[in-house]
Amino acid sequence: MKTLHLIRARLAAFRDDARGSLSVEAALILPLLCWFYVSAFVWFDAYRTQNANLKASYTLADMLSRETDPVTESYLKGLNKVYDYLTTTNHPTYIRVTTVKCVSNCDNNSRHLHVDWSYATEGRPSLTHATISDYYDKIPLMPQGDTVILLETFMAYEPLFNAGIPAKSFENYIVTRPRFAPQLLYAGAGT
């Protein structure tokens, strides 16, 4: 009986002893705290990158809308460099600029859009008359004969750590009208 009482007393003393509990708590919570900090950094970086991507896209669209002279291939490649500078990214990027004209039924869903010209940097494919039909929902209704500029920006994004965000492509579609000329012209060869 005395032995049982002694065992219970020692177990109670062990249970009530708080020495070393800080070390145990730190060992349990530190990995969770580190994971939370890294995850917050990755999520913040993804939102910051997407925000910079969108702002840079609107800046490029505004630059194109103000052009009165025909743009060249070197101008559009330089525009891609401006995009890289504005987004401060090391991720691969490319842009595609297309002028689109509404040729018939411009006020309903059976409208017909025509690609005047299209150019994509980094060897990517340009839009054609066949592929523009995939963009009808992105291009607003406009009067017959009116021309708009469709700017597409693409950025491959890969997070630094695996924190729930997969590698993806940030894509933006900006449609704007030329401001000071009836349409944006291209001085390069081919469309």
Instruction: Evaluate if residue 169 carries a pLDDT over 70.
Output: yes
Highest average pLDDT, of 31-35, 56-60, 133-137, comes from 56-60
Give the pLDDT confidence score for residue 60 in this predicted structure: 96
Query: Which of the four pLDDT bands, split at 50, 70 and 90, describes residue 190?
Result: very low
pTM over 0.85: no
181 within domain boundaries: no
pLDDT in tens, 23-47: 777 888 899 899 899 889 988 988 9
Sign of CA dihedral 44, 46, 49, 50: negative
Residue 191 confidence class, pLDDT cut points 50, 70, 90? very low
Average pLDDT value for residue range 177-191: 80
What average pLDDT does this structure show over 165-173? 89
Tell me whether residue 117 is in a domain.
yes
What phi and psi, each to the nearest 5 degrees, are found at residue 3? -65, -40
Residue 78 belongs to some domain of the structure: yes
Q: Which residues pair with 104 in a beta bridge?
A: 112
Which structural domain range is residue 94 located in? 22-176
Q: Is residue 15 part of a domain?
A: no
In a domain, 127, yes or no: yes
| DSSP at 127 | P
Split into its structural domains, the chain has a count of 1
Residue 2 falls inside a structural domain: no
DSSP H or E run through 80? helix 73-87
Of 175, 118, 111, 176, the residue nearest 145 (C-alpha)? 111
The confidence score (pLDDT) of residue 20 equals: 65
Would 76 be classed as within a structural domain? yes
Residue 14 lies in a domain: no
Separation between Cα atoms, residue 138 and residue 126, nearest integer Å: 17
Write down the mean pLDDT value for the chain: 87
